[in-house]
Amino acid sequence: MTKVEEIVSHLPIQPLDEPIPVGQLYFPDWCDYEQAMRGIFEREYYNNNGPLVTALESQLENFLNVKHAICVSNATHGLMIAAQAMELTGKVILPAHTFIASAQSLLWCGLTPVFCDVQKDGHHIDSTKLEALITDDVSAIMAVNLWGGAADIDALEKIASKHDIKLYFDSAQAFGCEYQGKKVGGFGDLEVFSLHATKVLSAGEGGLICTNNDELANKIRSIRPSYGNFEKVAIEKVANSRMSEAQAAVALLNLKSYKDYQRNNENIYNLYSKRLSSIPGISIVNPEGVTLSNFQSLVCSVDEEKFGCSRDDLLNILKHFSVLARRYFYPGVHKTVDFEHYGYKLPNTDRLSNVAIQLPIGAQVEKDVVNFICDVIAQTHEKSLCHG
């Protein structure tokens, strides 16, 4: 019997009836969506910057307090368009503790990612290690805002300005977060959000590029584009990354309920935090660097020695009980096939990829589900001590 089988066989708990995913899955009321879809069918206007996309962009500009909010098909395309619009060249510095899309967007644009480690006690890019990586061929820093937290934006802005390079944010996970009381969205040259189904503000699939720079916004729009004006399109590389009216309908309805979603997430987070704080070896990651979090993700670290079993064993035990926790991000992007041959040494990133576990948070996570998950974790700890 493996250790996992041994522990599972001693836990007096029945699995959940339905598997529970890690993601958010906040979706609007069906009747409201049906009504919105009927409007689209009646107008017979389904795509190419229709009235719902236009309304969404304008509402997002107000919500985020930015001059330009430009909807695109998803954040991966958003990051590709961003790099193209800023005319980046050579190398771009970013963390390896991120979703693969951050680095892939650079490869698509013929750019070379340079990976910087994350902070010793955090999940964001270590600004103190950045300057040593800035060479003549570095054209930008792409910081990534993770788990409902934010990077050290002040320090990053100072470094980018000192070296006269671009600074932009992969804020795929950061919609609605506030840094020093100001909504994330208007920092650096631009920011890119994801409106994927698993994000706190969802369009089902979608993305958003925000900037306060008019010239950059024009470029982004012509790379996205909405077509119709072929003369203008011909001067830019085009990505065809439009958002459809159906996607905008979901996002518009979700935006109306965003504050409720955020509050619901915060309550779930608080309950997890209370329950998990008494389990040795489990530390919840508090949203870093923000004055307001969207609680996009619930991430913990597992100290194997104190907890009694490894992160991966815990993951398998949770899976047995239908809790589909994840080990985001494993491995760090620098260890994936495209990049492992560079031999990057990123000790903090490597440590996180071995201890971090993401637990379910979002619409489908009721209070009793949180208690169930915490019971499994607490009892796993107790049984691990007996079956170590």
The residues annotated with a catalytic role in the active site are 199
Distance CA 165, CA 50 (A): 35
Question: Pairing between strand 178-179 and 182-183?
Answer: antiparallel
Q: Is the peptide bond before 331 cis (omega within 30 degrees of 0)?
A: yes
Distance of closest approach, residue 379 Cβ to ligand T4K, in angstroms = 23
Total site size for ligand T4K, rule CB under 6 A: 22
Please select the residue that binds ligand T4K; options are 16, 25, 233, 369, rule is CB under 6 A: 25
- Binding positions for ligand T4K, 109-138, rule CB under 6 A: none
Binding residue for ligand T4K, selected from 36, 101, 309, 357, defined by CB under 6 A: 101
- Residue from 139, 194, 294, 380 binding ligand T4K (CB under 6 A): 194
Report in angstroms how near the CB of residue 34 gets to ligand T4K at its nearest: 19
168 binds ligand T4K (CB under 6 A): no
Nearest distance from C-beta of residue 44 to ligand T4K, angstroms: 28
Among 40, 53, 60, 75, binds ligand T4K (CB under 6 A): 75
Identity of the residue, 173 or 380, whose beta carbon is nearer to ligand T4K in the bound complex: 173
214: tokens are 């008019």
Q: What is the strand order of the sheet 282-284 is part of?
A: 282-284, 298-302, 356-359
Identified binder of ligand T4K from the candidate list 22, 252, 282, 299, rule CB under 6 A: 22
Residue of the chain from 15, 21, 90, 186 that contacts ligand T4K (CB under 6 A): 21
Q: How far is the CB of 4 from ligand T4K (least distance, A)?
A: 20
Measured CA to CA, the distance from residue 242 to residue 212 in angstroms comes to: 20
Is position 170 an interface residue for ligand T4K (rule: CB under 6 A)? yes
Q: Counting contacts by CB under 6 A, is residue 76 touching ligand T4K?
A: yes
**What is the SS3 assignment for the chain?**
CCHHHHHHHHCCCCCCCCCECCCCCCCCCHHHHHHHHHHHHHHCCCCCCCHHHHHHHHHHHHHHCCCEEEEECCHHHHHHHHHHHCCCCCEEEEECCCCHHHHHHHHHCCCEEEEECECCCCCCECHHHCHHHCCCCEEEEEEECCCCCCCCHHHHHHHHHHHCCEEEEECCCCCCCEECCEECCCCCCEEEEECCCCCCCCCCCCEEEEECCHHHHHHHHHHCCCCCCHHHHCCCCCCCCCCCHHHHHHHHHHHHCHHHHHHHHHHHHHHHHHHHCCCCCEEECCCCCCCECCCCCEEEEECHHHHCCCHHHHHHHHHHCCECCECCCCCCHHHCCCCHHHCCCCHHHHHHHHHEEEECCCCCCCHHHHHHHHHHHHHHHHHHHHCC
The answer to whether residues 208 and 69 touch, using CB atoms and an 8 Å cutoff, is yes
Nearer to ligand T4K, 21 or 186 (CB): 21
Residue of 37, 324, 363, 378 that binds ligand T4K (CB under 6 A)? 324
70, 84, 88, 98: which one binds ligand T4K (CB under 6 A): 98
Q: Which is nearer to ligand T4K, 60 or 279 (CB)?
A: 60
For ligand T4K, the closer CB: 84 or 173: 173
Of 88, 144, 223, 290, which one interacts with ligand T4K (CB under 6 A)? 144
Q: Does 92 bind ligand T4K (CB under 6 A)?
A: no
CA 83 to chain centre: 18
Point out which span in 96-104, 109-117, 119-127, 276-284 binds ligand T4K (CB under 6 A): 96-104
Which residue in 4, 7, 8, 23 binds ligand T4K (CB under 6 A)?
23
Smallest separation, CB 96 to ligand T4K (Å): 12
Distance of closest approach, residue 328 Cβ to ligand T4K, in angstroms: 6
Rank residues 23 and 188 by Cβ distance to ligand T4K and give the closer one: 23
Between 102 and 222, name the residue whose CB sits nearer to ligand T4K: 102
Q: How far is the CB of 21 from ligand T4K (least distance, A)?
A: 3
- If one asks whether residue 247 binds ligand T4K (CB under 6 A), the answer comes out as no
At 205, give phi and psi (nearest 5°).
Answer: -140, 135
Residues that bind ligand T4K (CB under 6 A): 21-23, 25, 74-76, 98-99, 101-102, 144, 170, 172-173, 194, 196-198, 207, 324, 328
